[in-house]
Chains A and B, each alone.
Chain A
Amino acid sequence: MKNLVITDKDISNQLFKNSVVVNLNNIHYSSCTGGLECMKCEGACYFKDDMSIISKWMNDCQLIIYVTKVKYGCFDIPFKRMLERLIVNKEPFYTMVDGETCHLGISQLRKKLLVIGYGDATEEEKKMFKDLLDESTLGFTYSSVDAYFCDECELEETLNTFGGVDLG
């Protein structure tokens, strides 16, 4: 199973040769309606679009790389819309993890998450973003969650540094 790179900006396919690069600008996906109906139907989402494949893939691959703009210490809108659709990968029931209630992820495969955030985020916003990653990965079996930040103009250079990370 190939790894998965999800980006909200055009990047070279050559950087991550052992991964499928999904550019959010080139796919079709609807916004989650937040009605939680999928949780009542064993993760079956009402929408049948490109996210149907991506959400399944995310359960099965071992490395996921996000390339996202960071705005107000959060994912930018296209990325956030995509992430909201991943609710299908969560169990409906609540479980206590580290003293907090949360929904467990349905996949038990241990995976790594690498996030490359770009944009003019302040130190405070970077901290907020890292906290957000910690919160949103609670209940999932990530063996590591790493975040790196750069300015938009430095993104290509930063991606060159990380190119090949998916080869293991």
Chain B
Amino acid sequence: MAKILIINSSLKHAQDFVDPFVQRLLVHLSKEAECVDVRTTNSFDERTFFEYDQVIFAFMTALDSIPSSTLEVFQKLEGQPKNNADVYALIACDEYETEKCDLSQKIIEKWCEKENLHFRGSLKIGSVLFINKSASKFVVANYIKGFAIAILKQAKVYSRVTMLTENIFMKTANKYWNKEIKKKSKEKRQKK
């Protein structure tokens, strides 16, 4: 029975975009793991890192790579005792292409190599702002379950999922921004 830590290490408000996926992952992991702790960058205590067998970094990319908040977690962990934990990553990006998450994965791999940790794989999610607003949410649910199973088995896993087609993404995404911008300007007008 493993002890698992999930750190939502996105930027402060971007944590809300990743949280639905973290919660879904938590449900699957909790069924079989001895304990699953979910922490954010604020609630995470680096001194307890060595207690876990598996650690999952969950974050949304910022400026096409790993967010500074995750780099800060890495920095805190430098020089802390570690228990050769297996490291996984759930990386989300707002663009359609999950390839936008590849650089972040490479950076985590590099960090793991330097800290003598085992990087075991990732789940990359594209179109993160919109995917749960479309039918693709059911596809993502399956991918998260698969990711959880791999973590529980301590197996390697490299998977990626995004919205069904680029056309659906473009239509949904730009419609979303139009709506949000109109909503904001209406709010502004009402305040005046």
Contact = CB atoms under 8 A, between A and B. Distances in A.
Interface in B57-95: 60, 62-69, 71-72, 74-75, 95
Contact of A41 (B74, B97, B173, B184): B184
A132 B103 contact: yes
A136 B63 contact: yes
Given A74-B107, A128-B106, A92 B62 contact: no
B11 interface: yes
A34 B107 contact: no
B62 A32 contact: yes
Contacts of B15: 34
Contact of A40 (B10, B62, B71, B180): B180
Instruction: Say what secondary structure dominates the interface of chain A.
Output: mixed
A72 B74 contact: yes
Contacts of B129: 36
Contact of B114 (A72, A80, A132): A72
Interface in B140-192: 166, 169-170, 173-174, 177, 180-181, 183-184, 188
A62 to B, nearest CB: 22
Contact of B12 (A33, A74, A100, A128): A33
A77 B96 contact: no
B21 interface: no
A123 interface: no
B100 interface: yes
B66 A74 contact: yes
A12 interface: no
Interface residues of A, number: 38
Interface in A21-39: 31-37, 39
Tell me which of A33, A94, A102, A138 has the highest count of chain B C-beta atoms within 10 A of its own C-beta: A94
Instruction: Say what secondary structure dominates the interface of chain B.
Output: helix
A34 B65 contact: no
Contacts of B177: 39-40, 92-93
A35 B71 CA distance: 18
B177 to A, nearest CB: 4
Contacts of B13: 33-37
Contacts of A73: 103, 106-107, 110
Contacts of B166: 101
Contacts of A81: 68
Given A35-B11, A36-B129, 6 more contacts: A31-B11, A33-B11, A34-B67, A72-B74, A73-B106, A80-B63
29 contacts: A31-B69, A32-B11, A33-B13, A34-B12, A34-B15, A34-B62, A35-B11, A35-B12, A35-B14, A40-B181, A72-B114, A73-B110, A74-B65, A76-B71, A77-B72, A80-B63, A81-B68, A83-B63, A92-B181, A94-B95, A94-B96, A94-B169, A100-B97, A101-B170, A102-B95, A128-B103, A128-B110, A132-B65, A135-B64
